[in-house]
Structures are given as structure tokens and as C-alpha cells.
Chain A
Amino acid sequence: MTGLKKVKKKRRVWLIVIVGTMLATATALIGYGLRDGINYFRAPAQVAEDPPPENEVFRIGGLVEEGSLVRGQGETITFRVTDGAASIPVIYTGVLPDLFREGEGMVGTGRLVGGVFRATEILAKHDETYMPKEVIDALKEQGVYVDPGS
């Protein structure tokens, strides 16, 4: 095996440039072509625009709409998930993650039956905002706190 040993330096540089360009192009094409598969969830607006068939299991993600969370019997809850453009009702029975609350992000797995998303699993999604509790409390008292999720 000769490998790169006998290739001249200038041609080695060109080889690397060409390999790098091809890799970047391939990644961009694959990433664009498979974006529906790579994206972890669909937004409520996407689901409202193009509702999946009742037997398709998919994930929906967005914010838990303020004032929509209703705790029913036992562990069953209903709420609406929104992305600002559309809002989809969700029904779920099971354990919720710590961060799940109104105004926060969530990702649910399940099926859309009769316009209602029946979730089998709910995850919480949060952003990269980290703030001490005391600071938020103080800001809320002064009435200047703006929820980063809104």
C-alpha cells in the first residue's frame, strides 16, 4: 500500500480540499433531504396544516398553553400545545417530568385521533436560560419579569 506517501504536497492539499468540500456537500444534502426524520418533533402548525393519519405515531412539540392545563381523574391530564400559530388539544395519562408546567416546552409521543393528540409519553423541553430562583422572584415582585418562553 503506497497511500499518500508518493503524492506531492500540493496535490495532497488539493485532495484534502476536495474531500472536505464533498463531505460538506453530502452532509448538507442528507441533512436537508432527511430533515423530517432528523427533526425530533413536529410543530402544532405543521400538524394542523397536514394532519397525520390516525394510525401514525409521531411527536408533537411546543409550549403548554397558559390556562389550558386541566388535571382530571387520577393521572389523566388535558392541555393544549401551541407554537403561537396553531394549538392542538392533548390528552395524557401517566407520570410527568419535573419541568412540565404551563408556559414551558413539552414534547409528546402519540397519535392524532379526531383532532385530539393522545399522548403515550410526555417529555419536558427547556431552553438555555439559567437564572437563580431569588433573581426571578425579585423580578416578578417588581413586575418586570418577562418569561423567556413567551
Chain B
Amino acid sequence: MSIWEYANPRRFMGWSAPLVPLFSALAALLIALGLVWGFFFTPEDYRMGSTVKIIYIHVPSAMMAINIWVMMLVASLIWLVRRHHVSALAAKAAAPIGVVMTLIALITGAIWGQPMWGTWWAWDPRLTSFLILFLFYLGYMALWAAIEDPDTAADLTGMLCLVGSVFAVLSRYAVNFWNQGLHQGATLSLDAEENISDVFWLPLLVCMAGFGVLFAALVLLRTRTEIRLRRLHVLEARDRTGRKGSGEG
């Protein structure tokens, strides 16, 4: 059996149903554990004092804001190449979750920046590309809403997603391309030695896992809703044509 059979709408509805409550419970558990651990049971940072604790919301939400766009890109490419409707709907379903994550990261970043840097906002390369990513999320959702034919909407939003990926990548790597910015480098990286002490890193890891699982639960739930909505439209259309047919006869 091919992996693509899981993308069949009927099969998707089958396997995703038990995962939604499972992931929701797991996300609640991880986020509660991570935040309580981070807020109440970690020491103060040597420079920032207790202000560093906003990292437990800022870093996971910023990470998810970028990762969700990458997920939407993968889903859009699968749609553009293989024409799996569930894939297009998953990308559509992920966008509102992504825009909320982006907004949380922007707000917590401003709250963090005001006391530490001395400003709410700076036109730093990383901050600016993140703001553009936020606007791309809004544009992506608007484009879905603006086009009536679902396949055309999926095609065009898929292309928009491809263009927006530039800013998703820049949000993460702008610090590496233009090293004279205000924002510091990545807190966590695979290639460099970690600069964050384990006492901060472990609860942060739990929070990031929690945000990831929360996204999985929400995107499955929203994709299921989109599939049901699509089915409803088909039924309505069938109903309308049926009535018209009988009226003529």
C-alpha cells in the first residue's frame, strides 16, 4: 500500500479522528508543564533577571510561525504536483494557526525588547522579515477567501506560499546573512554549541514540543472541518441542481 492512500479523504477522516483528542491532551500537558517549570522553577538570568522567562512563549511561537509556513509549503507542493485535495485543505487549515503564532511572537518580542533593548520595534533584518511573513499569512488567507473555485484557489495560494517561503527562511536565517542586526542569533541550533544553560533549555524544549503537538491537534481538527465543509458544499450543489431539474420536468 502506498503512503498516498492516507491522503484519501475518507481514510484521512478515519485515522485523524482519534488523534485529535490525544494530541490535544498531550499538548495541554506539555505546555502546562513547560510553562509552570519555566516561569516558577528556573533561576534568573545573569543579565536579564526574570525578564528572560518570556523566552518560554516567544521562542516556541516564533519557531512554530516559521515551521507552519514550511508545513504549508510542503502541503501546497504536494497539491500542486499530485493534486491531493486533503493536502490543499491542510495548508488552508494551517494558515490561521500560523498567523496567531506569528502575532504571539511579535507581541512577546515587543514586550521583551522594550526593557532589554530599549525599544518595542526595530527595523532589524530578522524582525522585518518576520513582519513580512505575518503579512504573507494575512494575504494567503485573503486569497483563499477571494477565489470561489476551490482548485484555482488552491493553485494560486500554493504559488503565493512558495513566494512567502522566502520570508519564512529569512526570518530564521537573516542573522546569518546580515550579521549587523539587533536581534541575537538562534537560541537553539543544530550546528553550533549551545549557549543556553540546561536549566533554561529543558523547560524550553518541553514548551516547544507542546506548541508542536498543539499545532498538530489544531491542524488535524481544522482540516477535518474543511473536508466536512467541502462535502457540505457538494451536497448543497447536488440539491440545487436536482431541484432545478425537477422544476423543468
Binding site for B on A (CB under 8 A): 1, 3-5, 9, 12-13, 16, 19-20, 23-24, 27, 31, 35, 38-43, 61, 95-100, 104, 107, 121-137, 148
Contact = CB atoms under 8 A, between A and B. Distances in A.
A40 B123 contact: yes
Interface stretch (B4-12, B151-159, B222-230): B151-159
Contacts of A9: 81-82
Choose among B122, B170, B180, B185 the residue with the greatest number of A CB atoms under 10 Å from its CB: B180
A16 B151 contact: no
B118 A16 contact: no
B52 interface: yes
A38 B45 contact: no
A108 B15 CA distance: 56
A16 B185 contact: no
Given A23-B166, A148-B195, A99 B48 contact: yes
B180 A27 contact: no
Interface of B: 42-49, 51-52, 55, 77, 80-82, 115-119, 122-125, 149, 151-152, 155-156, 159, 162-163, 165-166, 170, 177-182, 184-187, 195-197, 199-200
A133 B182 contact: no
B117 A133 contact: no
A41 B155 contact: no
Contacts of A27: 166, 170
A133 B81 CA distance: 53
7 closest Cβ pairs, A-B complex: A97-B118, A132-B43, A39-B180, A136-B46, A129-B195, A128-B184, A3-B155
A96 B47 CA distance: 15
B180 A130 contact: no
A31 B125 CA distance: 10
Contacts of A24: 166
Contacts of B195: 127-130, 148
Given A39-B181, A40-B180, A126-B184, A99 B117 contact: yes
B162 A20 contact: yes
A41 B117 contact: no
A40 B184 contact: no
A134 B43 contact: yes
Contact of B162 (A16, A107, A125): A16
B180 A61 contact: yes
